[in-house]
Amino acid sequence: MALFSKFLTRYIAASLILALVGSCAQSLPPPPVVVLLPSVGAVELLIANQAPLDSVQLEIGIQVFDNKLDNEDRERFEEWVYAEIRENEVKYLPYVLRNTLLEADHWGAVRVLPQPDPSVDIQVDGTVLHSDGERLEIAILATDSSGRQWLNKTYADTTTLSDFPESTRFTTGSPFNPNGFIDPFQDLYDQIANDLLAARELMDSAELVNIKRVSQMVYASDLSPETFAHTLTTGTEGLLTVTSLLAEADPMLARVDDMRERHLGFIDTVDEYYEALYTEMQASYVIWRRYSHDQIDETQRLSTRLEDYDLNDYGTSRSFTSLTQRYDRYRWSKIYEQEFRELAAGFNRELAPAILELSEQVNGVSGTMDEQYVQWRRILQALFRLETEQM
């Protein structure tokens, strides 16, 4: 009787576990067939031996990235808690690229901005196509002030466990240290920087100087189209060229330069806003991405083991123990997923006060960063008209 009772207990337990695991396996949709873009691999950032001359030192504006989730991301990030992380992420990632370009030392000022800016020489736009702890895909479009495309390319990088060393698994007793921290996807940013440099190397000094002249008149036209529109024309290739360059001593040009200096001071402050957000966000974002990587790795391990299990062999003691262990792994993965969700919510709660404080006011204007930026440009345009009328 005792033997029968033991057998019955094992039979019922096995049946319950098989039913649970089977239902989980059946509820999972078949994985889509996805052809991944090749990763950039190991990339060495090309650093200048010396900074370029001021006459050819182009300034770069990196716009806050756009967000285009793929189907897998849509399913995973459909809840507001994940959508909020992605909203902050598109402000964080451009700053990693900004720091990379500054480290390369081939350019003038490099700033992160909320919108396209008429004062910069090169505008970089990015769209996040996929982002988690395992893989990052970003489409990059770089265009100079004349309208010439420098880059129009999608970049991808995939992490390994070595990209998340013990230093990223910090605790209260061992806090995050940003010094020496290497972004898990740093190779991707290094490749973008190297490709921008390669595009610049195809141009001679005269072409680079012309880009800066076009930028000057594009900004002047943005201030006062009726006054400066005649200085630019679109050539046969669809690129802007300067047809009427004002004399260096022209008082109108001096006013434009004065306004541009004020504007550069403002966008320096805007860039500092994104720097503060980056600094505030970095530690939490490192945790978020590391947990994301761990969860993906755990899910893949579980899926592989479920696929390998032979349901016809569950009667043996060895198979019963193995199945029990696998169910335990599934149960813990669900607990892990809940912890992951709570981590995401905590990530947003931690950032919310900082974002609110940083957005409140920059240079006497208010509203969101986009609204402040628009207000500032309108103020300068109105001020330029007023001062011109008084000349």
Q: What is the pLDDT of residues 268-311, one digit of tens each?
A: 988 998 998 898 888 888 888 887 777 777 676 666 655 555 54
Statement: residue 102 has pLDDT above 80: yes
Q: What angle do CA 62, 64, 70 make, to 5 degrees?
A: 120
Percent of the chain with pLDDT over 70: 65
pTM, two decimal places: 0.75
pLDDT recorded at residue 48: 95
In angstroms, the CA 274 to CA 95 distance is: 7
In angstroms, the CA 88 to CA 353 distance is: 13
Residue 23: inside a domain, yes or no? no
pLDDT recorded at residue 211: 94
Other Cβ atoms within 10 Å of 369 Cβ, number? 20
pLDDT: which is higher, 82 or 347: 82
Calculate mean pLDDT across residues 208-231: 89
Statement: residue 85 has pLDDT above 90: no
Residue 11: inside a domain, yes or no? no
Residue 122: inside a domain, yes or no? yes
Residue 126: inside a domain, yes or no? yes
Calculate mean pLDDT across residues 80-108: 87
Q: How many domains does the chain have?
A: 1
pLDDT: which is higher, 125 or 304: 125
pLDDT: which is higher, 207 or 284: 207
| Per-residue burial over 381-390, b = 16 or more CB atoms within 10 Å of its CB, e = otherwise | eeebeeeeee
Domain that holds residue 114: 54-300+336-389
Residue 214: inside a domain, yes or no? yes
pLDDT: which is higher, 19 or 127: 127
**Residues 191 and 155: beta-carbon distance below 8 Å:** yes
Query: Range with the lowest mean pLDDT among 215-224, 314-323, 339-348, 372-381?
Result: 314-323
pLDDT recorded at residue 161: 82
Which tokens belong to 172?
Answer: 């209260």
- Per-residue confidence band for 204, with pLDDT thresholds at 50, 70 and 90: very high
Residue 34: inside a domain, yes or no? no
Percent of the chain with pLDDT over 90: 33
- Per-residue confidence band for 83, with pLDDT thresholds at 50, 70 and 90: low
pLDDT: which is higher, 391 or 163: 163
pLDDT recorded at residue 319: 46
Residue 92: inside a domain, yes or no? yes
Query: Range with the lowest mean pLDDT among 57-71, 207-221, 278-292, 316-330?
Result: 316-330
**Residues 231 and 223: beta-carbon distance below 8 Å:** no
Residue 324: inside a domain, yes or no? no
pLDDT: which is higher, 252 or 64: 64
